[in-house]
A and B are shown apart, each in its own frame.
Chain A
Amino acid sequence: MKIFIYNIGYFLLEAKRTIRLNPLSNLFSVIGTGLILFLLGMVLAGWSVGDKLIVALKDEAEVSAYFMENTNEKDALKLVNAIKGMEGVMDASYIDETEAKAQMEKMLGNEADILGLFDENPFEAFIEVKINLDYMDQVLSDVAKLDGIDYVRDNRKVLEQMKGISDGLKLFGVLIMAAVGITTLIIISHMIRQGIYNNRDQINTLRLLGAPDGFIGFPFLLAGTFLTLLGGGLAAGLLILLLNEGYSHLSGFIPFIPLPSLEELSDKVSLLILLVSAALGLLGSLFGVSSIGKEE
Protein backbone atom coordinates (compact mmCIF):
# COMPACT_ATOMS: atom_id res chain seq x y z
CA MET A 1 0.00 0.00 0.00
CA LYS A 2 2.88 2.32 0.93
CA ILE A 3 4.49 1.64 -2.43
CA PHE A 4 1.18 2.41 -4.17
CA ILE A 5 0.72 5.73 -2.34
CA TYR A 6 4.33 6.81 -2.88
CA ASN A 7 4.03 6.13 -6.60
CA ILE A 8 0.61 7.50 -7.56
CA GLY A 9 2.19 10.25 -9.64
CA TYR A 10 4.53 7.77 -11.31
CA PHE A 11 1.68 5.38 -12.14
CA LEU A 12 -0.35 8.18 -13.73
CA LEU A 13 2.62 9.37 -15.77
CA GLU A 14 3.42 5.84 -16.90
CA ALA A 15 -0.23 5.27 -17.88
CA LYS A 16 -0.08 8.49 -19.93
CA ARG A 17 3.14 7.30 -21.57
CA THR A 18 1.59 3.94 -22.39
CA ILE A 19 -1.37 5.63 -24.07
CA ARG A 20 0.83 8.02 -26.02
CA LEU A 21 3.16 5.26 -27.15
CA ASN A 22 0.58 3.98 -29.62
CA PRO A 23 -1.91 6.84 -30.03
CA LEU A 24 -3.57 5.82 -33.30
CA SER A 25 -4.18 2.23 -32.25
CA ASN A 26 -5.53 3.40 -28.89
CA LEU A 27 -7.78 5.96 -30.60
CA PHE A 28 -9.32 3.24 -32.78
CA SER A 29 -9.77 1.04 -29.73
CA VAL A 30 -11.59 3.88 -27.95
CA ILE A 31 -13.84 4.49 -30.97
CA GLY A 32 -14.52 0.75 -31.34
CA THR A 33 -15.31 0.35 -27.66
CA GLY A 34 -17.43 3.50 -27.74
CA LEU A 35 -19.54 2.24 -30.63
CA ILE A 36 -20.03 -1.15 -29.01
CA LEU A 37 -21.07 0.47 -25.75
CA PHE A 38 -23.36 2.80 -27.72
CA LEU A 39 -25.10 -0.30 -29.06
CA LEU A 40 -25.51 -1.53 -25.51
CA GLY A 41 -26.83 1.86 -24.49
CA MET A 42 -29.49 1.74 -27.21
CA VAL A 43 -30.65 -1.67 -26.02
CA LEU A 44 -30.75 -0.47 -22.42
CA ALA A 45 -32.76 2.60 -23.45
CA GLY A 46 -35.18 0.38 -25.39
CA TRP A 47 -35.43 -1.87 -22.39
CA SER A 48 -36.22 1.03 -20.12
CA VAL A 49 -38.90 2.41 -22.45
CA GLY A 50 -40.44 -1.07 -22.86
CA ASP A 51 -40.56 -1.61 -19.11
CA LYS A 52 -42.18 1.74 -18.52
CA LEU A 53 -44.76 0.93 -21.17
CA ILE A 54 -45.58 -2.45 -19.66
CA VAL A 55 -45.93 -1.02 -16.18
CA ALA A 56 -48.16 1.74 -17.50
CA LEU A 57 -50.32 -0.71 -19.41
CA LYS A 58 -50.55 -3.07 -16.46
CA ASP A 59 -51.69 -0.18 -14.30
CA GLU A 60 -54.34 0.39 -16.90
CA ALA A 61 -55.42 -3.26 -16.87
CA GLU A 62 -59.10 -2.77 -17.13
CA VAL A 63 -62.07 -3.76 -19.19
CA SER A 64 -64.85 -1.52 -20.40
CA ALA A 65 -68.39 -2.90 -20.28
CA TYR A 66 -70.88 -1.19 -22.62
CA PHE A 67 -74.62 -1.14 -22.03
CA MET A 68 -77.44 -2.35 -24.19
CA GLU A 69 -79.60 0.39 -25.60
CA ASN A 70 -82.24 1.89 -23.26
CA THR A 71 -80.31 0.98 -20.10
CA ASN A 72 -81.01 3.77 -17.65
CA GLU A 73 -78.59 5.09 -15.04
CA LYS A 74 -80.37 3.25 -12.20
CA ASP A 75 -79.91 -0.12 -13.94
CA ALA A 76 -76.37 0.82 -14.81
CA LEU A 77 -75.50 1.45 -11.13
CA LYS A 78 -77.02 -1.96 -10.24
CA LEU A 79 -74.74 -3.55 -12.82
CA VAL A 80 -71.76 -1.66 -11.33
CA ASN A 81 -72.53 -3.15 -7.90
CA ALA A 82 -72.91 -6.63 -9.37
CA ILE A 83 -69.55 -6.34 -11.09
CA LYS A 84 -67.87 -5.04 -7.93
CA GLY A 85 -68.83 -8.26 -6.18
CA MET A 86 -67.09 -10.49 -8.72
CA GLU A 87 -63.82 -12.30 -7.95
CA GLY A 88 -60.83 -10.62 -9.61
CA VAL A 89 -62.51 -7.23 -9.81
CA MET A 90 -60.59 -4.52 -7.97
CA ASP A 91 -62.97 -1.67 -8.69
CA ALA A 92 -65.82 -0.74 -10.97
CA SER A 93 -67.24 2.67 -11.70
CA TYR A 94 -69.86 4.18 -13.92
CA ILE A 95 -68.50 6.56 -16.55
CA ASP A 96 -71.09 8.75 -18.21
CA GLU A 97 -70.73 10.26 -21.69
CA THR A 98 -69.23 13.53 -20.44
CA GLU A 99 -66.61 11.79 -18.33
CA ALA A 100 -65.77 9.42 -21.17
CA LYS A 101 -65.05 12.42 -23.36
CA ALA A 102 -62.97 14.05 -20.59
CA GLN A 103 -60.88 10.88 -20.25
CA MET A 104 -60.11 10.88 -23.95
CA GLU A 105 -59.20 14.56 -23.85
CA LYS A 106 -56.76 13.83 -21.05
CA MET A 107 -55.25 10.94 -22.97
CA LEU A 108 -54.80 13.00 -26.11
CA GLY A 109 -53.22 15.90 -24.27
CA ASN A 110 -52.13 18.59 -26.74
CA GLU A 111 -53.83 16.72 -29.54
CA ALA A 112 -57.28 16.88 -27.84
CA ASP A 113 -58.34 19.66 -30.20
CA ILE A 114 -59.25 16.96 -32.67
CA LEU A 115 -62.34 16.17 -30.59
CA GLY A 116 -63.66 19.64 -31.39
CA LEU A 117 -64.37 18.40 -34.90
CA PHE A 118 -67.39 16.46 -33.62
CA ASP A 119 -70.69 18.32 -33.40
CA GLU A 120 -71.93 16.01 -30.64
CA ASN A 121 -70.18 14.01 -27.96
CA PRO A 122 -69.32 10.73 -29.77
CA PHE A 123 -68.66 8.78 -26.57
CA GLU A 124 -71.15 6.55 -24.78
CA ALA A 125 -71.47 5.68 -21.10
CA PHE A 126 -69.75 2.50 -19.85
CA ILE A 127 -68.55 0.70 -16.75
CA GLU A 128 -64.82 0.94 -16.11
CA VAL A 129 -63.72 -2.30 -14.44
CA LYS A 130 -60.26 -2.45 -12.91
CA ILE A 131 -59.17 -6.04 -12.67
CA ASN A 132 -56.45 -8.35 -11.51
CA LEU A 133 -54.75 -9.49 -14.71
CA ASP A 134 -54.70 -13.10 -13.54
CA TYR A 135 -58.52 -13.17 -13.51
CA MET A 136 -58.99 -11.43 -16.84
CA ASP A 137 -60.59 -14.35 -18.71
CA GLN A 138 -63.04 -15.14 -15.93
CA VAL A 139 -64.05 -11.52 -15.35
CA LEU A 140 -64.58 -10.98 -19.06
CA SER A 141 -66.81 -13.99 -19.27
CA ASP A 142 -68.83 -13.14 -16.13
CA VAL A 143 -69.36 -9.50 -17.07
CA ALA A 144 -70.40 -10.39 -20.62
CA LYS A 145 -73.12 -12.71 -19.22
CA LEU A 146 -74.80 -9.96 -17.20
CA ASP A 147 -78.20 -8.74 -18.37
CA GLY A 148 -77.94 -5.21 -19.71
CA ILE A 149 -74.34 -5.58 -20.89
CA ASP A 150 -74.05 -5.41 -24.66
CA TYR A 151 -70.35 -6.11 -25.09
CA VAL A 152 -67.06 -5.98 -23.21
CA ARG A 153 -63.87 -4.45 -24.57
CA ASP A 154 -60.46 -5.38 -23.18
CA ASN A 155 -56.84 -4.44 -23.93
CA ARG A 156 -55.55 -7.99 -23.43
CA LYS A 157 -54.16 -8.30 -26.92
CA VAL A 158 -52.23 -5.09 -26.57
CA LEU A 159 -50.93 -6.19 -23.19
CA GLU A 160 -49.87 -9.59 -24.46
CA GLN A 161 -48.16 -8.08 -27.49
CA MET A 162 -46.36 -5.54 -25.39
CA LYS A 163 -45.28 -8.22 -22.93
CA GLY A 164 -43.99 -10.31 -25.85
CA ILE A 165 -42.04 -7.36 -27.21
CA SER A 166 -40.68 -6.58 -23.76
CA ASP A 167 -39.60 -10.20 -23.16
CA GLY A 168 -37.99 -10.31 -26.60
CA LEU A 169 -36.21 -7.05 -25.94
CA LYS A 170 -34.95 -8.40 -22.62
CA LEU A 171 -33.58 -11.55 -24.22
CA PHE A 172 -32.03 -9.48 -27.00
CA GLY A 173 -30.60 -7.15 -24.36
CA VAL A 174 -29.01 -10.01 -22.45
CA LEU A 175 -27.47 -11.36 -25.66
CA ILE A 176 -26.21 -7.90 -26.62
CA MET A 177 -24.80 -7.39 -23.13
CA ALA A 178 -22.93 -10.69 -23.32
CA ALA A 179 -21.62 -9.85 -26.80
CA VAL A 180 -20.64 -6.33 -25.77
CA GLY A 181 -18.96 -7.59 -22.62
CA ILE A 182 -16.91 -10.22 -24.40
CA THR A 183 -15.98 -7.91 -27.30
CA THR A 184 -14.93 -5.09 -24.98
CA LEU A 185 -12.90 -7.46 -22.85
CA ILE A 186 -11.10 -8.76 -25.96
CA ILE A 187 -10.42 -5.26 -27.32
CA ILE A 188 -9.14 -3.92 -24.01
CA SER A 189 -7.06 -6.93 -23.09
CA HIS A 190 -5.55 -6.91 -26.60
CA MET A 191 -4.82 -3.20 -26.27
CA ILE A 192 -3.09 -3.79 -22.92
CA ARG A 193 -1.12 -6.74 -24.25
CA GLN A 194 0.02 -4.55 -27.12
CA GLY A 195 1.11 -1.90 -24.62
CA ILE A 196 2.96 -4.54 -22.61
CA TYR A 197 4.65 -5.81 -25.76
CA ASN A 198 5.71 -2.29 -26.72
CA ASN A 199 7.16 -1.82 -23.23
CA ARG A 200 8.71 -5.28 -22.97
CA ASP A 201 12.28 -4.00 -22.51
CA GLN A 202 11.24 -1.73 -19.67
CA ILE A 203 9.22 -4.53 -18.09
CA ASN A 204 12.14 -6.95 -18.29
CA THR A 205 14.44 -4.39 -16.71
CA LEU A 206 11.99 -3.76 -13.89
CA ARG A 207 11.74 -7.50 -13.29
CA LEU A 208 15.49 -7.84 -13.11
CA LEU A 209 15.53 -5.02 -10.59
CA GLY A 210 12.99 -6.94 -8.50
CA ALA A 211 9.78 -4.99 -9.21
CA PRO A 212 6.66 -7.01 -8.35
CA ASP A 213 4.14 -7.74 -11.13
CA GLY A 214 1.54 -5.53 -9.42
CA PHE A 215 3.88 -2.55 -9.61
CA ILE A 216 4.74 -3.25 -13.26
CA GLY A 217 1.13 -3.84 -14.28
CA PHE A 218 -0.67 -1.04 -12.45
CA PRO A 219 0.03 1.70 -15.04
CA PHE A 220 -1.37 -0.61 -17.75
CA LEU A 221 -4.44 -1.22 -15.62
CA LEU A 222 -4.94 2.54 -15.29
CA ALA A 223 -4.42 3.09 -19.01
CA GLY A 224 -6.89 0.34 -19.99
CA THR A 225 -9.56 1.52 -17.57
CA PHE A 226 -9.12 5.13 -18.66
CA LEU A 227 -9.38 4.28 -22.38
CA THR A 228 -12.50 2.16 -21.84
CA LEU A 229 -14.07 4.91 -19.77
CA LEU A 230 -13.28 7.26 -22.65
CA GLY A 231 -15.14 4.84 -24.94
CA GLY A 232 -17.99 4.81 -22.41
CA GLY A 233 -18.04 8.63 -22.44
CA LEU A 234 -18.22 8.60 -26.23
CA ALA A 235 -21.09 6.09 -26.11
CA ALA A 236 -22.95 8.14 -23.48
CA GLY A 237 -22.54 11.31 -25.56
CA LEU A 238 -23.85 9.63 -28.71
CA LEU A 239 -26.72 8.13 -26.76
CA ILE A 240 -27.80 11.48 -25.30
CA LEU A 241 -27.78 12.94 -28.81
CA LEU A 242 -29.82 10.01 -30.12
CA LEU A 243 -32.34 10.17 -27.27
CA ASN A 244 -32.81 13.92 -27.70
CA GLU A 245 -33.38 13.45 -31.40
CA GLY A 246 -35.62 10.40 -30.89
CA TYR A 247 -37.80 12.05 -28.25
CA SER A 248 -38.34 15.15 -30.35
CA HIS A 249 -39.75 12.91 -33.12
CA LEU A 250 -41.59 10.32 -31.00
CA SER A 251 -43.52 12.77 -28.84
CA GLY A 252 -45.07 14.31 -31.94
CA PHE A 253 -46.01 11.07 -33.67
CA ILE A 254 -47.24 8.86 -30.86
CA PRO A 255 -48.54 10.91 -27.98
CA PHE A 256 -50.22 7.86 -26.37
CA ILE A 257 -46.92 6.15 -25.48
CA PRO A 258 -46.04 6.85 -21.86
CA LEU A 259 -42.27 7.41 -22.34
CA PRO A 260 -40.00 7.91 -19.34
CA SER A 261 -38.78 11.49 -19.07
CA LEU A 262 -35.84 12.33 -21.34
CA GLU A 263 -33.64 13.54 -18.47
CA GLU A 264 -34.36 10.48 -16.37
CA LEU A 265 -33.64 8.09 -19.22
CA SER A 266 -30.50 9.93 -20.39
CA ASP A 267 -29.05 10.11 -16.88
CA LYS A 268 -29.87 6.51 -16.06
CA VAL A 269 -28.51 4.98 -19.27
CA SER A 270 -25.42 7.24 -19.42
CA LEU A 271 -24.49 6.41 -15.84
CA LEU A 272 -25.02 2.72 -16.49
CA ILE A 273 -22.85 2.84 -19.62
CA LEU A 274 -20.06 4.61 -17.73
CA LEU A 275 -20.24 2.08 -14.88
CA VAL A 276 -20.26 -0.84 -17.32
CA SER A 277 -17.32 0.64 -19.26
CA ALA A 278 -15.33 1.14 -16.04
CA ALA A 279 -16.01 -2.42 -14.94
CA LEU A 280 -15.22 -3.88 -18.38
CA GLY A 281 -12.10 -1.70 -18.66
CA LEU A 282 -10.85 -2.90 -15.30
CA LEU A 283 -11.61 -6.53 -16.10
CA GLY A 284 -10.15 -6.37 -19.64
CA SER A 285 -7.02 -4.67 -18.32
CA LEU A 286 -6.64 -7.33 -15.65
CA PHE A 287 -6.78 -10.01 -18.37
CA GLY A 288 -4.20 -8.08 -20.38
CA VAL A 289 -1.93 -7.44 -17.40
CA SER A 290 -2.03 -11.13 -16.47
CA SER A 291 0.23 -11.70 -19.51
CA ILE A 292 3.07 -9.94 -17.65
CA GLY A 293 3.46 -12.91 -15.34
CA LYS A 294 3.45 -15.41 -18.19
CA GLU A 295 6.45 -13.93 -19.94
CA GLU A 296 8.92 -14.94 -17.22
Chain B
Amino acid sequence: MIEAKGVSLTYHDGTVALKDVNIEVKPGELVYITGHSGSGKTSLLKLLIGMEYPTSGSLKILGQPIKRGKARKIRKLRKKIGPVFQEFKLIEGRTALENVMMGMRFLGISPRKMKTEAISALTKVGLEHKIRSKVENLSWGESQRVAIARAVARKPELILADEPTGNLDHDNAINILQILNSFRDNNTAVVITTHATHLIENQEDATYIRVNKGEITIEHSSEKIV
Protein backbone atom coordinates (compact mmCIF):
# COMPACT_ATOMS: atom_id res chain seq x y z
CA MET B 1 0.00 0.00 0.00
CA ILE B 2 2.73 2.41 1.01
CA GLU B 3 6.27 1.83 -0.10
CA ALA B 4 8.86 4.48 0.73
CA LYS B 5 12.53 3.90 -0.02
CA GLY B 6 15.10 6.48 1.04
CA VAL B 7 12.55 9.29 0.86
CA SER B 8 13.67 12.78 1.84
CA LEU B 9 11.73 16.02 1.75
CA THR B 10 13.35 19.43 1.77
CA TYR B 11 11.16 22.53 1.46
CA HIS B 12 11.99 25.44 -0.86
CA ASP B 13 13.35 27.47 2.05
CA GLY B 14 15.90 24.74 2.77
CA THR B 15 14.10 23.20 5.76
CA VAL B 16 14.73 19.50 5.84
CA ALA B 17 11.40 17.91 6.84
CA LEU B 18 12.21 14.22 6.31
CA LYS B 19 15.47 12.31 5.92
CA ASP B 20 15.92 8.88 4.38
CA VAL B 21 12.49 7.51 5.25
CA ASN B 22 11.90 3.81 4.62
CA ILE B 23 8.39 2.51 5.28
CA GLU B 24 6.23 -0.33 4.06
CA VAL B 25 2.55 -0.48 5.00
CA LYS B 26 0.49 -3.52 4.02
CA PRO B 27 -3.31 -3.82 3.57
CA GLY B 28 -5.19 -4.07 6.85
CA GLU B 29 -2.37 -2.52 8.86
CA LEU B 30 -2.88 0.11 11.58
CA VAL B 31 -0.03 2.59 11.69
CA TYR B 32 0.51 5.38 14.19
CA ILE B 33 2.92 8.11 13.26
CA THR B 34 4.01 9.81 16.45
CA GLY B 35 6.31 12.66 17.29
CA HIS B 36 6.36 16.13 18.75
CA SER B 37 4.97 19.16 16.94
CA GLY B 38 7.28 20.06 14.07
CA SER B 39 8.90 16.64 14.02
CA GLY B 40 7.79 15.94 10.43
CA LYS B 41 4.59 13.91 10.97
CA THR B 42 2.39 16.15 8.86
CA SER B 43 5.10 16.40 6.17
CA LEU B 44 5.09 12.62 5.97
CA LEU B 45 1.30 12.60 5.68
CA LYS B 46 1.43 15.30 2.99
CA LEU B 47 3.75 13.06 1.01
CA LEU B 48 1.36 10.16 1.41
CA ILE B 49 -1.55 12.13 -0.02
CA GLY B 50 0.50 13.70 -2.81
CA MET B 51 0.42 17.25 -1.48
CA GLU B 52 4.22 17.23 -1.50
CA TYR B 53 6.69 15.30 -3.61
CA PRO B 54 9.85 13.57 -2.32
CA THR B 55 12.99 15.55 -3.12
CA SER B 56 14.84 12.25 -3.26
CA GLY B 57 14.06 8.56 -2.92
CA SER B 58 11.06 6.65 -4.21
CA LEU B 59 7.54 6.67 -2.86
CA LYS B 60 4.63 4.57 -4.10
CA ILE B 61 1.09 4.75 -2.74
CA LEU B 62 -1.23 1.97 -3.87
CA GLY B 63 1.22 1.32 -6.66
CA GLN B 64 1.24 4.92 -7.91
CA PRO B 65 4.62 6.69 -7.82
CA ILE B 66 4.38 10.03 -6.05
CA LYS B 67 6.50 12.43 -8.03
CA ARG B 68 6.32 15.71 -9.84
CA GLY B 69 4.59 15.69 -13.23
CA LYS B 70 2.09 13.01 -12.19
CA ALA B 71 -0.58 15.39 -10.86
CA ARG B 72 -3.41 13.88 -12.86
CA LYS B 73 -2.60 10.33 -11.77
CA ILE B 74 -2.15 11.45 -8.17
CA ARG B 75 -5.58 13.11 -8.32
CA LYS B 76 -7.01 9.75 -9.45
CA LEU B 77 -5.11 7.99 -6.69
CA ARG B 78 -6.73 10.26 -4.10
CA LYS B 79 -10.12 8.76 -4.94
CA LYS B 80 -8.88 5.57 -3.25
CA ILE B 81 -7.70 7.41 -0.15
CA GLY B 82 -9.86 8.59 2.74
CA PRO B 83 -8.15 11.64 4.20
CA VAL B 84 -9.04 13.14 7.59
CA PHE B 85 -7.44 16.55 7.79
CA GLN B 86 -6.19 18.17 10.95
CA GLU B 87 -8.39 21.21 10.33
CA PHE B 88 -11.18 18.96 8.93
CA LYS B 89 -11.61 20.95 5.68
CA LEU B 90 -15.39 20.66 5.89
CA ILE B 91 -17.34 22.90 3.56
CA GLU B 92 -19.32 25.51 5.44
CA GLY B 93 -22.92 26.28 4.55
CA ARG B 94 -23.51 22.58 3.85
CA THR B 95 -24.97 19.95 6.13
CA ALA B 96 -23.03 17.03 7.55
CA LEU B 97 -24.71 14.77 4.98
CA GLU B 98 -23.83 17.09 2.08
CA ASN B 99 -20.21 17.19 3.23
CA VAL B 100 -19.97 13.43 3.34
CA MET B 101 -21.65 13.11 -0.06
CA MET B 102 -19.32 15.76 -1.46
CA GLY B 103 -16.45 13.31 -1.14
CA MET B 104 -18.33 10.67 -3.11
CA ARG B 105 -19.89 12.64 -5.95
CA PHE B 106 -17.09 12.07 -8.44
CA LEU B 107 -16.71 8.34 -7.75
CA GLY B 108 -19.49 7.29 -10.13
CA ILE B 109 -21.87 6.17 -7.39
CA SER B 110 -25.61 6.59 -8.02
CA PRO B 111 -27.26 9.38 -5.97
CA ARG B 112 -29.43 6.93 -4.04
CA LYS B 113 -26.53 4.66 -3.10
CA MET B 114 -24.39 7.70 -2.31
CA LYS B 115 -26.97 8.98 0.16
CA THR B 116 -27.40 5.55 1.79
CA GLU B 117 -23.64 5.12 2.18
CA ALA B 118 -23.22 8.64 3.54
CA ILE B 119 -25.98 8.18 6.14
CA SER B 120 -24.49 4.82 7.07
CA ALA B 121 -21.05 6.38 7.58
CA LEU B 122 -22.52 9.18 9.71
CA THR B 123 -24.41 6.59 11.74
CA LYS B 124 -21.22 4.60 12.33
CA VAL B 125 -19.51 7.69 13.75
CA GLY B 126 -22.55 8.37 15.95
CA LEU B 127 -23.92 11.38 14.11
CA GLU B 128 -27.18 9.99 12.75
CA HIS B 129 -29.03 12.75 14.63
CA LYS B 130 -26.92 15.50 13.04
CA ILE B 131 -27.08 14.63 9.35
CA ARG B 132 -29.14 17.74 8.53
CA SER B 133 -27.08 20.08 10.71
CA LYS B 134 -24.88 22.67 9.05
CA VAL B 135 -21.26 21.85 9.82
CA GLU B 136 -20.55 25.31 11.24
CA ASN B 137 -23.07 24.54 13.99
CA LEU B 138 -21.31 21.33 15.07
CA SER B 139 -18.87 20.99 17.96
CA TRP B 140 -15.17 20.27 17.38
CA GLY B 141 -15.64 16.56 18.11
CA GLU B 142 -18.70 16.33 15.88
CA SER B 143 -16.88 18.07 13.03
CA GLN B 144 -14.04 15.61 13.48
CA ARG B 145 -16.49 12.73 13.14
CA VAL B 146 -18.07 14.25 10.01
CA ALA B 147 -14.57 14.43 8.52
CA ILE B 148 -14.05 10.76 9.38
CA ALA B 149 -17.44 9.83 7.91
CA ARG B 150 -16.51 11.68 4.70
CA ALA B 151 -13.24 9.74 4.52
CA VAL B 152 -14.69 6.28 5.16
CA ALA B 153 -17.93 6.61 3.17
CA ARG B 154 -15.75 6.48 0.06
CA LYS B 155 -14.73 2.91 0.95
CA PRO B 156 -11.05 3.84 0.65
CA GLU B 157 -8.15 1.44 0.52
CA LEU B 158 -6.12 3.74 2.71
CA ILE B 159 -7.34 6.04 5.51
CA LEU B 160 -4.95 8.86 6.38
CA ALA B 161 -5.81 10.84 9.52
CA ASP B 162 -3.76 13.84 10.56
CA GLU B 163 -3.92 14.55 14.32
CA PRO B 164 -7.53 13.40 14.64
CA THR B 165 -7.36 13.65 18.43
CA GLY B 166 -6.13 17.23 18.55
CA ASN B 167 -8.21 19.54 20.78
CA LEU B 168 -10.38 16.66 22.00
CA ASP B 169 -10.74 15.59 25.61
CA HIS B 170 -9.44 12.18 26.62
CA ASP B 171 -12.69 10.26 26.24
CA ASN B 172 -13.57 11.82 22.89
CA ALA B 173 -10.03 11.27 21.62
CA ILE B 174 -10.13 7.59 22.55
CA ASN B 175 -13.53 7.34 20.90
CA ILE B 176 -12.23 8.88 17.66
CA LEU B 177 -9.26 6.48 17.57
CA GLN B 178 -11.58 3.53 18.15
CA ILE B 179 -13.85 4.71 15.34
CA LEU B 180 -10.91 5.03 12.93
CA ASN B 181 -9.58 1.64 13.97
CA SER B 182 -13.00 0.10 13.34
CA PHE B 183 -12.71 0.88 9.62
CA ARG B 184 -9.55 -1.19 9.29
CA ASP B 185 -10.14 -4.44 7.46
CA ASN B 186 -8.31 -6.81 5.14
CA ASN B 187 -8.33 -4.28 2.33
CA THR B 188 -8.09 -1.02 4.20
CA ALA B 189 -5.06 0.24 6.07
CA VAL B 190 -5.33 3.09 8.56
CA VAL B 191 -2.51 5.59 9.13
CA ILE B 192 -2.92 8.06 11.99
CA THR B 193 -0.57 10.83 13.07
CA THR B 194 -0.72 11.95 16.68
CA HIS B 195 1.49 13.61 19.23
CA ALA B 196 -0.68 12.22 22.07
CA THR B 197 1.27 8.99 22.59
CA HIS B 198 -0.50 8.31 25.90
CA LEU B 199 -3.71 7.65 23.95
CA ILE B 200 -2.29 4.85 21.84
CA GLU B 201 -0.58 2.75 24.49
CA ASN B 202 -1.32 -0.95 24.62
CA GLN B 203 -2.78 -0.98 21.11
CA GLU B 204 -2.66 -4.50 19.74
CA ASP B 205 -1.43 -5.28 16.27
CA ALA B 206 -0.24 -1.78 15.39
CA THR B 207 2.87 -0.31 13.85
CA TYR B 208 4.40 2.81 15.36
CA ILE B 209 6.48 5.15 13.29
CA ARG B 210 8.22 7.65 15.50
CA VAL B 211 9.36 10.81 13.75
CA ASN B 212 12.04 12.95 15.32
CA LYS B 213 13.63 15.85 13.46
CA GLY B 214 12.73 14.26 10.13
CA GLU B 215 14.19 10.85 10.97
CA ILE B 216 12.03 7.84 11.71
CA THR B 217 12.21 4.73 13.83
CA ILE B 218 9.69 1.93 13.38
CA GLU B 219 8.34 -0.24 16.17
CA HIS B 220 5.64 -2.91 16.23
CA SER B 221 3.15 -3.28 19.08
CA SER B 222 4.89 -6.33 20.47
CA GLU B 223 8.14 -4.42 20.91
CA LYS B 224 6.68 -0.93 21.51
CA ILE B 225 8.23 1.33 24.09
CA VAL B 226 6.64 4.78 24.07
A→B interface (CB under 8 Å): 2-3, 6-7, 9-10, 17, 201-202, 204-212, 215, 296
B224 within 8 A of A: no
**Chain A residue at smallest Cβ distance from B113:** A6
Q: Is the CB of B78 within 8 A of A210?
A: yes
Using Cβ atoms and an 8 Å threshold, which residues of chain B touch A202?
91
Shortest Cβ gap from B214 to chain A (Å): 23
Q: Which 10 A-B pairs have the closest CB atoms?
A: A210-B78, A210-B79, A205-B89, A215-B106, A211-B106, A209-B103, A202-B91, A2-B108, A7-B105, A6-B111
Q: Across the interface, do A208 and B85 meet the contact criterion of CB distance under 8 Å?
A: yes
Q: Is the interface of A mostly helix, strand, loop or mixed?
A: helix
Residues of A contacting B105 in the complex (Cβ-Cβ under 8 angstroms): 3, 6-7, 10, 211, 215
How many residue pairs link A and B with beta carbons under 8 A? The number is 57
Question: Is B118 among interface residues, defined by CB-CB distance under 8 A?
Answer: no
Q: Is the CB of B93 within 8 A of A201?
A: no
Q: Which residue of A lies closest to B82 (CB)?
A: A209
> Which B97-131 residues sit within 8 Å CB-CB of chain A?
102-103, 105-111, 114
CB pair B89 A208 closer than 8 Å: yes
Name A296's contact: one of B49, B71, B77, B79 (CB within 8 Å): B71
Chain B interface (Cβ < 8 Å from any Cβ of A): 49, 51, 71, 75-81, 83, 85, 89-91, 93, 102-103, 105-111, 114, 150, 154
Report the separation of the CA atoms of residues A2 and B90 in the bound assembly, to the nearest whole angstrom: 25
Is there contact, CB below 8 Å, between B77 and A206?
no
Report yes or no: B71 in contact with A209, Cβ–Cβ below 8 A: no
Does B108 contact A209, Cβ atoms closer than 8 Å? no
Known A3-B106, A208-B83; 20 more pairs at CB < 8 Å: A6-B105, A6-B111, A9-B111, A17-B93, A201-B91, A205-B89, A205-B91, A206-B102, A207-B75, A208-B49, A208-B78, A209-B78, A209-B79, A209-B102, A209-B154, A210-B75, A210-B77, A212-B106, A215-B105, A296-B71
